[in-house]
Amino acid sequence: MSALTHFHAAGNAVMVDVSGKPETARAATARVSVKMRPETLRMIVQGQAKKGDVFAVARLAGIMGAKRTAELIPLCHPLPITAVTVDLAPEGDDAVAIAATVKTTGRTGVEMEALTAASIAALTVYDMCKAVDRGMRIEGLRVVEKSGGASGQFRQD
């Protein structure tokens, strides 16, 4: 494993200088699950949540989150995001699966933007359903795919 890049020799936190890196097409996908009671998932799928269409609102929230990542994560570079997709779907009878993919052409990757999009979408599902299911759990947030840049392709389940 390489050294941590967000610290200089004296140990102080720094934003990594990417000015010498070439611009390349980059993409990252993050996944997360929101575990819930089966009746909560049925409510979502049947469109009966009192706050509205849970999947539509969470999708928009995830997209907005990706675009605001540099404001939330102190050492993240603001990036010209070229695409964001946030997909939500039932997973079994007791979970919502969320996948967020972010793309850019730039000097640094979009893993943090994908993780933020997935996280914000999951938090929005929780927020919209917490009145009926306070026991929901957000689980398994991870980057599952990354492409572009010097480190190349990365994939995991």
- Tell me which residues are annotated as active site: 127
Between CA 54 and CA 45 the distance in angstroms is: 9
* Ranges of H-type helices in 2-157: 38-45, 54-67, 69-72, 111-129
Q: DSSP per residue over 95-116, as a string?
A: EEEEEEEEEEEESS--HHHHHH
Q: Which of 26, 31, 21 has its CA nearest to residue 146?
A: 26
Between CA 148 and CA 150 the distance in angstroms is: 7
DSSP state of 125: H
The three-class DSSP label of residue 117 is helix
Q: Say if residues 31 and 118 touch (Cβ distance below 8 Å).
A: yes
